[in-house]
Amino acid sequence: MPSSEQQMRSGDADSDPTLMAHLRRRAGELLGSRGVFGLVWLDKSLMVHSRFGTLVDFIAIGEPVTRNLIPLIGLEAEVSGLKAGQVLRVPSVAIVTENGTGPRLNLVFYAFAEEELTLLVVSPAQMDTSLAIELSRQIRARLMAESEAAAKSQELARTNADLEIANCKLEQFAAIVTHDLKAPMRALGFLADEIEGALLASDAASARERLAELRNQARRVSCMLAALLHYSSAGLSGALIESVDTRELVDEIVRSLPHGNVKVTLQGVWPRIETLAAPLGLTLRNLIDNSIKHHDRKEGHLLVTCMEAGDALEIALADDGPGIAPEHHESMFLPFRTLGSAGEGMGLAIVQKMLDAVGGTIRLQSDAPRQRGVTFTIRWPKQIAL
């Protein structure tokens, strides 16, 4: 509450115009000297005519106002076009220089009917700055957290989908293994019973015959288990990215495989690439071996062609063997699937497994028995993410 003396003085001042003018000028001087506002008068060509207040000390008199207030560049027409009574506001502007960010200022232009000059009132844009900064920080943090959560949930969905596929494959694999191993195991049981029967009947010849069969079945089970182990261990674990001369790799595979009756020809462009050498070698070895092993004629031909297809190598292996009937195309890549007597039927399953691991694909084309031959085309990515 103001004292009665203060009230009286205030009342006195109101009634004394000279004192009032003095007080106003004094108040203006105080506010200007403390940087509460600054005043700049501009002529029609936006040259600085005069200025008042420490806040606008940096604005040079006699110079275009844009020289020191660069945010006004581009707004000259707006300012000089102001009509009497009009106001133009450019709020919350800061000039950034090598020395840091200058004060954030509100720039307000006034035009007067009786004056040739335009008045620019400059004031600090305080507007709860610290609160606004904190609010902006919080908003940004929330947005970042939201996007991180979205990315994680996307990643989780992807992992779940991968897991589902893996589970599906595992179930399929377990079913195949159980089914395919069951038959020879059952045969072992039958043979043991028969041997026992033959021994009880003192039929040594028959017992010997059954024993030989039992050995064969046991060998078959052993081979199947070895193949299964090979299949299970086929993967990228421990594989290294190396510089691979693809033609040399295939040449070496062909040299190392017995391919007496099948002539292998290489065509196309075989580049040197940085890739997982061992998995690529294993894939090609199984495919080449498959074509040679299943060839059913005295003389045969396997044509291996390579071409670059965007971000992958496309390698096609076309043979003139018996081919694969369309109804077997899908099952050929499952473990223990073979159409002939050669091998354990794991080669193509291993190829599929390797390609899945590196992000490649395989395509099978064959129309047996209408037409002989089969073509396997693999796409091997040039860049492999480990």
Calculate ∠ Cα 203-206-207, nearest 5°.
80
Least separation in angstroms between residue 144's CB and another protein is 7
Helix runs in 238-302, H state only: 246-256, 277-293
Burial class (CB in 10 A: 0-12, 13-18, 19+), 313: buried
- For another protein, the binding residue among 144, 156, 163, 165 (CB under 8 A) is 144
Residue in the block written with tokens 């060998």: 219
Tokens representing residue 351 in the block: 């190829």
Binding another protein by CB under 8 A: which of 4, 18, 101, 178?
101
Nearest CB to another protein, comparing residues 75 and 181: 75
Stretch of residues binding another protein (CB under 8 A), selected from 73-81, 176-184, 225-233, 353-361: 73-81
Site residues (CB under 8 A) for another protein, limited to 112-131: 125, 127, 129
CB of 103 to another protein, least distance (A): 12
Min dist CB 41 to another protein, Å, is 21
Q: CA-CA-CA-CA torsion for 125, 126, 131, 133, nearest 10 degrees?
A: 40
Cα separation, 304 vs 299, whole angstroms: 17
Closer residue to another protein in complex, CB, 127/185: 127
> Closest distance between another protein and the C-beta of residue 58, in Å?
14
> Does the protein bind another protein through residue 90 (CB under 8 A)?
yes
* Nearest 10 degrees: Cα torsion 258, 260, 265, 270: 10
Collapse the DSSP code of 140 into the 3-class scheme (helix H, G, I; strand E, B; otherwise coil) and give the result.
helix
Which of the stretches 29-37, 71-79, 225-233, 297-305 binds another protein when contact is defined by CB under 8 A? Answer: 71-79
Cis peptide bond prior to 369, omega within 30° of 0? yes
Antiparallel, parallel or unpaired: β 38-42 and 118-124: antiparallel
Does 94 contact another protein by CB under 8 A?
A: yes
Q: How far is the CB of 382 from another protein (least distance, A)?
A: 18
Site of interaction with another protein (CB under 8 A)? 70-71, 73-75, 77-78, 88-96, 98, 101, 104, 125, 127, 129, 132-133, 136-137, 139-140, 143-144, 146-147, 150-151
